[in-house]
């Protein structure tokens, strides 16, 4: 579905991504893990068209997209949910969700998408007319995810969905993320909490200082000494029993 092939990205004269390659297949959840400053968000922004690579290629569903503007990439079926949500604070919940239905194919059928979003996040239906600025952090993240899903994506990219949220809200976010492949939506999950990301991912990549330094299945990464020493040992484990979902 998604193929990133040896991209190099610069901010001015400073290189921030070096020959980065990864793939996401249909029906997969792929985790991209790494510490703060590893350029994980830069990679997502490059896939979304907000940043253009100096070299390399990005293909989505067999089509080259690294030269396309962001709105065209959204129309093809890639949605990005940014860290912190970044909502339109003076719009209400429903208006924010409306903004996600940007592609024409999504706008024409948005009346079908609202019930789907509300079934994932019933709280948003209750707060449909409430201004985004009055929502809690967890509710804002729900709106951000719902807004992304309103575009009817084939691939949804999440940037640190657990950041700053309470454990119970994190459980809800991960439950929704885990359910998306069943709905025909693949997931690229950027997450600093390695244990959390690998609980739901099929495969993963480790990004350090702008370079992919490891990739493998969930089991391979969890058993890796590098992961155990560099990441798991630094984090307070969040025990999420996803099997009950």
| HEC sequence for 8-24 | EEEECCEEEEEEEEEEE
User: What digits encode the pLDDT tens for the residues 93-141?
Assistant: 999 999 999 888 888 888 899 999 999 999 999 999 999 999 998 899 9
Distance CA 81, CA 180 (A): 14
CB atoms within 10 A of CB 23: 15
Structure tokens at 60: 């989505």
- pTM > 0.75: yes or no: yes
Mean pLDDT over residues 211-224, rounded? Answer: 92
- What's the distance, CA 244 to chain centroid? 23
Which domains are delineated in the chain?
2-77+153-244 (3.40.50.300), 88-152 (no CATH)
């Amino acid at each position: 579905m998604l193929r990133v092939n040896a991209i190099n990205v610069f901010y001015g004269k400073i290189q921030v991504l070096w020959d980065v390659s990864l793939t996401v297949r249909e029906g997969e959840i792929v985790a991209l893990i790494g510490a703060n400053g590893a350029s994980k968000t830069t990679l997502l922004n490059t896939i979304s068209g907000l940043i253009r690579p100096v070299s390399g290629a990005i293909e989505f569903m067999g089509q080259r997209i690294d030269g396309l503007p962001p709105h065209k990439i959204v129309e093809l079926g890639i949605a990005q949910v940014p860290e912190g949500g970044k909502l339109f604070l003076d719009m209400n919940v429903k208006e924010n969700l409306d903004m996600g239905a940007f592609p024409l194919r999504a706008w024409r059928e948005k009346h079908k998408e609202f019930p789907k979003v509300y079934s994932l996040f019933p709280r948003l239906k209750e707060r449909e007319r409430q201004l985004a600025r009055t929502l809690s952090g967890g509710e804002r993240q729900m709106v951000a995810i719902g807004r992304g899903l309103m575009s009817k994506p084939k691939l949804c990219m999440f940037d640190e969905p657990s950041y700053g949220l309470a454990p119970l809200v994190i459980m809800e976010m991960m439950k929704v993320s885990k359910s998306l492949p069943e709905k025909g939506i693949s997931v690229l999950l950027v997450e600093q909490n390695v244990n959390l990301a690998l609980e739901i991912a099929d495969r993963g990549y480790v990004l350090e200082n702008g370079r992919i330094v490891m990739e493998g299945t969930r089991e391979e990464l969890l058993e890796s000494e590098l992961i155990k020493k560099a990441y798991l040992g630094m984090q307070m484990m969040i025990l999420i029993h996803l099997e009950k979902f």
